[in-house]
Amino acid sequence: MARNLNEAVLVVGHRGMVGSAIVRRLSDLGYQNILTLGRENVDLLDQKAVRAYFDTHQVSQVYLAAARVGGIHANNTYPADFIYDNLMIQANVIEAAHRAGVQKLLFLGSSCIYPKLAEQPMKEEALLTGTLESTNEPYAIAKIAGIKLCESYNRQHGRDYRSVMPTNLYGPHDNYHPDNSHVIPALLRRFHDAVEQSVEEVSIWGSGKPMREFLHVDDMAAASVHVMELDGEVYKANTQPMLSHINVGTGIDCTIRELAETIAKVTGFKGTLSFDASKPDGTARKLMDVSRLESMGWKASIELEDGLRDAYQWFVVNRLEVRG
């Protein structure tokens, strides 16, 4: 698709980790008319308010990055909030965009859409082939609904609404809440505090054996813009009407123990690591098959340790203001 740097591009959820990275990426590419929409502007759970925004703004493209997110603890504690809020945000934005005549939209999902026992690495075709991981099932179901919303608007209304499914993300503007954050920000904060307080041991949830794949959010933003800008025929040639989402990841994973050891190195922690096997591990392995995206001309470029150093540097600078 030819790039038009003057068209109005709306990023929904621009204050979040992914949304802010997409704004940075668009700015770096020279886009001149970047619109932003978050809950401080419009209550995304309010259908009328979202429709009113689209009715009063001329939007050409939408990046739908707004979502309620959190780690295992948050998903277990607030399942109703996770499924309701995400379903409503997605439905309100996608329907309002369609009603306003917006032809191009990119929906950001999550790798948790795949079955708990999906063959590794997980291919796009694994969607809806098995039981989901119970700890984040409500969130996963909402994200699956988002994919199907996009596919349905494409089939019924001829829209070009695309979906990308990122692996575990980290980077600037992450959520560092001690209870509700994902594993990387939680560990970065815990190790940082341990160094500052001269703590000799850091305890980590689970056995340390599960394997996870991690993608820096700047790589995610670059992939998102790449997929949005793909020529329509190229995108269709690599997807199907009922299987239109694209995996985004590095194609490389590590154990939680290895991740913790790398974070200890990045933060300067010299003490002992302990693992609390009484806490849930979640899925044993989650690795994305990224061959489809690579065939479309994009591959991740930020190595894990380099990305962790970048994330930690951002946290140190902004730790008094970060979420959590």
Check the annotation: does 212 bind a ligand. yes
C-alpha closest to that of 149 among 199, 106, 192: 106
Check the annotation: does 111 bind a ligand. yes
Check the annotation: does 146 bind a ligand. no
Check the annotation: does 165 bind a ligand. no
Check the annotation: does 169 bind a ligand. yes
**114 by DSSP, 3-state: which?**
coil
Q: Is 95 exposed, middle or buried, given 0-12, 13-18 or 19+ CB atoms closer than 10 A?
A: middle
What is the DSSP track for 186-225?
Answer: HHHHHHHHHHHTT-SEEEEES-S--EE-EEEHHHHHHHHH
- The CB density around residue 48, as the number of other CB atoms within 10 Å, is 11
What is the DSSP track for 64-76?
Answer: E-------HHHHH
Check the annotation: does 19 bind a ligand. yes
- Residues 286 and 215: their CA atoms lie apart, in Å, by 13
Check the annotation: does 298 bind a ligand. no
- Residues 236 and 229: their CA atoms lie apart, in Å, by 13
Residue tagged 């599960």 (tokens): 210
Check the annotation: does 183 bind a ligand. no
Check the annotation: does 69 bind a ligand. no
Check the annotation: does 14 bind a ligand. yes
Q: Which of 53, 63, 114, 139 is catalytic?
A: 139
Check the annotation: does 106 bind a ligand. no
Residue 84 annotated to the active site? no
Amino acid making up residue 133? E
**173 by DSSP, 3-state: which?**
coil
Which are the contacts of 165, defined by CB distance < 8 A and separation ≥ 6? 109, 110, 111, 113, 124, 143, 147, 245, 246, 247, 248, 288
Check the annotation: does 25 bind a ligand. no
Strands 104-108 and 160-166 turn out to be: parallel
Check the annotation: does 319 bind a ligand. no
Check the annotation: does 109 bind a ligand. yes
Check the annotation: does 110 bind a ligand. yes
Query: Can you say which residues are annotated as belonging to the binding site for NADP(+)?
Result: 13-19, 108-111, 143, 166-169, 182
Binding residues for substrate: 190, 205, 212, 281
Q: Mind telling me the catalytic residues?
A: 139
Annotated binding-site members: 13-19, 108-111, 143, 166-169, 182, 190, 205, 212, 281
